[in-house]
Amino acid sequence: MPGTGQNLLADTTVKLARQTNARIQGLIAQAPDLQARYETARKIIRAFRRPSFYEVSQKCNLWCEGCYYFENDKRQVVGNEMSDDGWDAFFAAEDDRGVSMAYLVGAEPSLYPHRLRAATKNIRYGKIGTNGTVVIPRDISFRIGISVWGNETDDAVLRGGSVLRKAMRNYTGDPRAVMLFTLSPWNLDSVGDVLKAAEDHDVKLTFSMYSATTSYLAKLTAGTAADSKYFRLGPSLARAVFTDADLAKAHEAMLDAMQRYPDTVIFSAEYADLITRPGPLYDMDPETGLPLDCGSRIRDPLRYFDTAGTQKQVKCCTPDVDCNHCRLYSGSWSKLFKPTQKHLADQGSFEGWLSMIETIGQIFLYPFPFESTA
Ligand code: SF4
Ligand code: SF4
């Protein structure tokens, strides 16, 4: 009978949701103090109910080694970008579609403030991914995630300029800003310098992990000669993928940072365990070669639009990154929205899950904590 399979799936999903809810209520009955935290967690999760990615820029002012955007041989340049009026109308329509969360990505979104402003006027929550070298005007009230690749020396080598210093100067004390420190096998020794700079400039900081593109890894494997663009250092750098020893070092650095800079670092010990686990982080589909459980996969309700306003069928917002080595923060954070049996095993693991969801709120939502509506 047509539809039977779908009905069965819907029944199973409803049954699972009921079981999950019953388990959570049981845990809260044992520890009533957790009720308020759970309500906040639900509110955070609701903010992501209809998310969408928007590529608002095809240009960048930096030359980062192994750039996830430009070091992609298959990337197609969009020739018919929307006009300013077009962006206004586009985001108004996205609001009508019920989009609750906008991820504004590029290349470098800060080069197009009008596009960012059009989004902020229409969509409730948003997160802009920027390199921090160009100030995003204060009236653009979205969370701003600033990519940091290391200290001054790392910047000069890896990004072709003094990025950290400019970003810190631009965002000193800015409540919208969160430095997204991308740990890589190349910068594990400079973590302390970056933390100190963040604390000195009163800017929050969290961690992601460098994840190489397939194009970059293929060049390394083939022994391709260095070029003058995004593969300047490849042949001379030790490695682009974390070894198990690197992962242990990164894990230690994350926990140490949380302990030493509790007012600056936004992170979670449970998440540090998860993101630095050796081996692939995701369950890969042998047929498609794509991860089954990555929260950043572009599938309903998550959509991805290019600068012409065209919806694209891409696997995620960094389509050339190799899923087998991917440790980017977005995919792993967003797979946590549905608690697993492990998260609900006992009060301790439930609190760990709540703490991870609260961390998501701090990293992705602005303003956060939520403003009182009373
Ligand atoms: S700032 Fe981002 S888009 Fe620009 S070169 Fe660096 S990694 Fe690429
Ligand atoms: S975010 Fe997900 S889909 Fe994208 S590269 Fe990483 S694992 Fe693959």
pLDDT in the model for residue 1: 42
Give the number of C-alpha atoms closer than 13 A to the C-alpha of residue 354, restricted to the C-beta side. 18
Check pLDDT > 90 for residue 265: yes
* Structure-model confidence comparison of residues 330 and 147, the more confident one: 147
Residues 50, 101: Cα–Cα separation, whole Å: 6
Task: Flag whether 69 is in a domain.
Answer: yes
Per-residue pLDDT at 232: 87
User: In this predicted structure, what is the pLDDT of residue 8?
Assistant: 63
Q: Name the β-bridge partners of 55.
A: 105
Averaged pLDDT score across all residues of the chain: 92
Which pLDDT band, with edges at 50, 70 and 90, does 374 fall under?
very low
Higher-scoring residue by pLDDT: 138, 212: 138
How far, in Å, from the CA of 275 to the mean position of ligand 1?
A: 22
Q: Please give the distance of CA 97 from its chain centroid, rounded to a whole number.
A: 23
Span 191-199, average pLDDT = 96
Residue 174 has pLDDT above 80, yes or no: yes
Which protein residue's CA is at the shortest distance from atom 3 of ligand 1? 107
Tens-place pLDDT, residues 175-188: 999 999 999 999 99
What distance in Å separates the CA atoms of residue 180 and residue 208, rounded to the nearest whole number?
6
Cβ of residue 62 lying under 6 Å from some atom of ligand 1: yes
- Nearest C-alpha to atom 8 of ligand 1 is from which residue? 67
Cα 309 to Cα 84: distance, rounded to the nearest angstrom? 12
Q: Is 65's C-beta closer than 6 angstroms to any atom of ligand 1?
A: no
Mutate to test the pocket of ligand 2, among 68, 210, 296 (most ligand atoms within 8 A of CB): 296
Ligand closest to 209 (CA) is 2
d(CA 345, ligand 2 centre) in Å = 28
pTM given for the model: 0.93
Number of structural domains (the chain) is 1
Q: Is the pLDDT of residue 6 over 80?
A: no
Q: Is the CB of 163 under 6 A from ligand 1?
A: no
pLDDT: which is higher, 343 or 372: 343
Nearest C-alpha neighbor of 318 from the set 334, 329, 308: 329
- The verdict on residue 41 lying in a domain is no
Minimal-distance CA residue to ligand 1 atom 7: 67
pLDDT of residue 160: 84
Tell me if 163 sits within 8 A of 149, measured CB to CB: yes
Q: Is residue 29 part of a domain?
A: no
Q: Given CA atoms 112, 209, 187, 64 in this order, what sign does their dihedral have?
A: negative
Whether 362 is in a domain gets the answer: no
Distance, in Å, from the CA atom of 93 to the CA atom of 306, rounded to the nearest integer, reads 15
Tell the residue nearest (CA) to atom 7 of ligand 2.
Answer: 323
**What per-residue confidence (pLDDT) applies to 18?**
92
Q: How far is the CA of 126 from the centre of ligand 2 (A)?
A: 20
Q: Which of 315, 317, 330 to mutate to test the pocket of ligand 2 (most atoms within 8 A of CB)?
A: 315
Mean pLDDT of all residues in 158-180:
95
What value does the mean pLDDT take over residues 194-216? 95
Q: Which atom of ligand 1 is nearest to the CA of 129?
A: 2
- pLDDT for position 332: 80
How remote is the C-alpha of 141 from its chain's centroid? 18
Strands (E), 56-142: 101-105, 125-130
Q: Looking at the predicted structure, is the pLDDT value of residue 4 above 60?
A: no
β-strand partners of 206:
180
Give the integer Cα–Cα distance in Å for 216 and 72.
8
* Ligand 2: lining residues by beta carbon, under 6 Å: 282, 291, 294, 296-297, 315-316, 318, 321, 323, 326, 328, 331
| pLDDT at site 3 | 47
Rounded-to-5 percentages of helix, strand, coil across the chain: 40, 10, 45
Name the residue among 242, 229, 266 with its Cα closest to residue 187: 242
Q: Residue 168 maps to which CATH number?
A: 3.20.20.70
For ligand 1, say whether the CB of 358 is within 6 Å of any of its atoms: no
Q: What is the pLDDT of residues 211-233, one digit of tens each?
A: 988 988 999 999 899 988 888 88
- Whether the pLDDT of residue 210 is over 60: the answer is yes
Beta bridge partners of 126: 102
Q: What is the pLDDT of residue 330?
A: 75
- Give tens-digit pLDDT for 85-134: 999 999 999 999 999 999 999 999 999 999 999 999 999 999 999 999 99
Residue 216 lies in a domain: yes
pLDDT for 238 beyond 60? yes
Domain that holds residue 106: 48-335
d(CA 145, CA 269): 20
CB distance 64 to ligand 1 below 6 Å: yes
Identify whether 18 is part of a domain: no
Per-residue model confidence (pLDDT) at position 239: 78
Asked whether residue 14 is domain-assigned, the answer is no
CA-closest residue to ligand 1 atom 6 = 64
pLDDT tens track for 21-68: 999 999 999 999 999 999 999 999 999 999 999 999 999 999 999 898
pLDDT, mean of residues 128-149: 97
> Is 5 a domain residue?
no
Q: Which residues contact 158 (CB under 8 A, 6 or more apart)?
A: 64, 65, 149, 150, 186, 187, 233
